[in-house]
């Protein structure tokens, strides 16, 4: 009797964890996708409802091309890691979700990675892989659609040096993280042969900004690198003192959600450069996608996170179709790594074995207010850099097999 009870307990535990559930095909022929996003916090504009619309658009496009049946469920994790984990566990164990997308918070996404790996489910995040995850990403089930801060900063510096920006001033904060960013940037600048003509560090309340701006002008710097977190960068863009002669060197920073900049469109900002994985006015394909997206998202143009959610969900569903409807993580991930991205947003990119999605980057420069053609026409594309021109994070899986170019069905972008 005791052996029977132990056996029943063991089988019950396996059933609860999903280990006895058949992973071969989508339940009832329906693929279930969860969009775990921020609907109420600081990333609501960059992700939020726009991420839900992007996932829905991708599902519609793949269904039109393949006939796959897809259900999308959504939840707001409210910037709380514990809640994100609770929702994910419920989706996996009770609602039989096949894949979860978005999670626009790198720390929370990192904490979810182990859960999805243990449960044999796929997690496609709109955040970069954290460096400490590199050693375990090769066998994991999480893929990361956007580059990390170091990659963005390094390629920003490299691109601007190539554009003739040789004299750099570093402006940073006094907290430990800002100091680490500045130290890292100085090493990158020396690597690319740039000259550091000055540096200054602002206190927490940004006191002394006007004096530092005057100091920067005296150095005749070509460009000012901002070594700050997102809130401080926005603060500086709002309050940068106008120079008395109307001339000031442009600012540069690695990445900022475009939704933040849309909110600043009426603020007289200094000129600046930034990098982006996606910009809505990049080419005819991105403009067509943006027009369609804006019609479903209160007129707002898509951010890089929205584009990454569309690309991730589309690529996942195409892989399920190539796997003949199987949703087992191993079969689908094999297809996702073998197939290049074909979505006209991250077109030509691919998934490395360590989970990093390799794609192009765009160097953008801000437009003057008088040169803008509308409220979202904020940038000029200076240079679009394909992956072979980028400095990329080291490959964590050196024995990864080469990518195969598998023929795909024609894209349906709804253009």
Rounded Cα gap, residues 57 and 54, in angstroms:
5
pLDDT tens-place string over residues 160-212: 999 999 999 999 987 788 888 899 999 999 999 999 999 999 877 777 899 99
Give 25: exposed, middle or buried? Use CB within 10 Å, 0-12, 13-18, 19+.
Answer: middle
Rounded to two decimals, the pTM is: 0.88
Please identify, in words, the CATH class of the domain defined by 23-147+283-356: alpha beta
How distant, in Å, are the alpha carbons of 109, 119, 253, 305 from that of 78? 13, 23, 27, 17
Of 74, 84, 78, 85, the residue nearest 51 (C-alpha): 74
Give CA angle at 152 (148, 154), nearest 5°: 120
Rounded Cα gap, residues 296 and 55, in angstroms:
12
For every residue of 51-80, DSSP letters joined together read HHHHHHHHHHHHHHHH--EEEEEEEE-TT-
Of 279, 276, 224, 212, the residue nearest 252 (C-alpha): 224
pLDDT reported for residue 130: 58
CB atoms within 10 A of CB 288: 14
Rounded Cα gap, residues 280 and 377, in angstroms:
9
171 alpha carbon, distance to own chain's centre? 25
CATH number for the domain formed by residue range(s) 150-276+362-389: 3.40.50.2300
Fold matches, 23-147+283-356 and 150-276+362-389? yes
Rounded Cα gap, residues 303 and 279, in angstroms:
7
- Ordered by start, the domain boundaries in the chain are 23-147+283-356, 150-276+362-389
pLDDT reported for residue 10: 34
Q: Which residues pair with 276 in a beta bridge?
A: 362
For every residue of 239-260, DSSP letters joined together read HPPPPTTS--PPEEES---HHH
Token readout for 87 is 């929702």
Give the dihedral sign, CA 207/187/237/294. Answer: negative
The list of the chain residues with pLDDT below 70 reads 1-27, 128-137, 398-415
Rounded Cα gap, residues 61 and 2, in angstroms:
54
pLDDT reported for residue 24: 45
Alpha helices per DSSP H over 225-369: 230-239, 258-263, 284-294, 304-322, 329-338
pLDDT reported for residue 176: 83
Q: Are strands 361-366 and 272-276 parallel, antiparallel or unpaired?
A: antiparallel
CB atoms within 10 A of CB 167: 15
pLDDT reported for residue 220: 94
Q: Give the helix/strand (H/E) hosting 89.
A: helix 81-93
Rounded Cα gap, residues 126 and 129, in angstroms:
10
Token readout for 387 is 């992956």
Q: Which residue has the tokens 């566990």?
A: 89
């Amino acid at each position: 009797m005791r052996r029977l009870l132990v056996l029943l307990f063991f089988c019950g535990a396996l059933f609860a964890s999903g280990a006895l559930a058949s992973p071969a095909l989508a339940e009832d022929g329906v693929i279930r996708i969860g969009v775990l996003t921020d609907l109420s916090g600081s990333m609501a504009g960059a992700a939020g409802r726009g991420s839900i619309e992007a996932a829905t658009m991708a599902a519609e496009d793949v269904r039109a091309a393949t006939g796959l049946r897809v259900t999308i469920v959504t939840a707001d994790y409210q910037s709380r890691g514990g809640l994100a984990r609770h929702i994910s566990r419920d989706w996996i164990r009770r609602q039989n979700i096949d894949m979860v997308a978005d999670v626009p918070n790198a720390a929370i996404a990192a904490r979810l990675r182990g859960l999805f790996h243990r449960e044999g489910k796929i997690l496609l995040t709109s955040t970069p892989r954290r460096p400490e995850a590199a050693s375990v990403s090769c066998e994991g089930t999480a893929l990361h659609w956007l580059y990390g801060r170091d990659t963005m900063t390094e390629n920003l510096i490299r691109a601007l040096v190539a554009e003739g920006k040789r004299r750099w001033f570093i402006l940073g904060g006094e907290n430990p993280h800002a100091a680490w960013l500045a130290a890292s940037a100085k090493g990158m600048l020396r690597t690319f042969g740039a000259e550091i003509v000055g540096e200054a560090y602002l206190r927490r309340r940004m006191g002394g900004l006007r004096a530092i701006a005057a100091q920067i002008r005296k150095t005749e710097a070509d460009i000012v690198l901002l070594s700050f977190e997102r809130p401080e960068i926005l603060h500086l863009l709002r309050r940068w003192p106008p120079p008395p002669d109307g001339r000031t060197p442009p600012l540069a920073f690695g990445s900022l959600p475009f939704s933040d900049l849309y909110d600043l469109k009426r603020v007289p900002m200094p000129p600046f450069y930034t990098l982006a994985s996606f910009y809505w006015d990049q080419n005819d394909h991105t403009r067509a996608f943006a027009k369609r997206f804006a019609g479903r998202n209160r007129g707002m143009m898509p951010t890089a996170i929205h584009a990454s959610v569309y690309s991730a969900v589309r690529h996942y569903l195409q892989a399920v179709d190539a796997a003949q409807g199987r949703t087992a993580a191993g079969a689908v991930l094999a297809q996702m790594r073998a197939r290049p991205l074909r979505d006209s947003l991250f077109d030509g990119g691919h998934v490395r074995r360590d989970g990093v999605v390799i794609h192009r980057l765009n160097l953008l420069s801000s437009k003057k207010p008088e040169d803008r053609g509308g409220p979202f026409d904020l940038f000029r594309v200076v240079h679009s850099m394909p992956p072979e021109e980028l400095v990329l994070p080291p490959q964590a899986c050196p024995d990864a097999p080469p990518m195969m170019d598998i023929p795909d069905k024609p894209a349906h972008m709804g253009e």
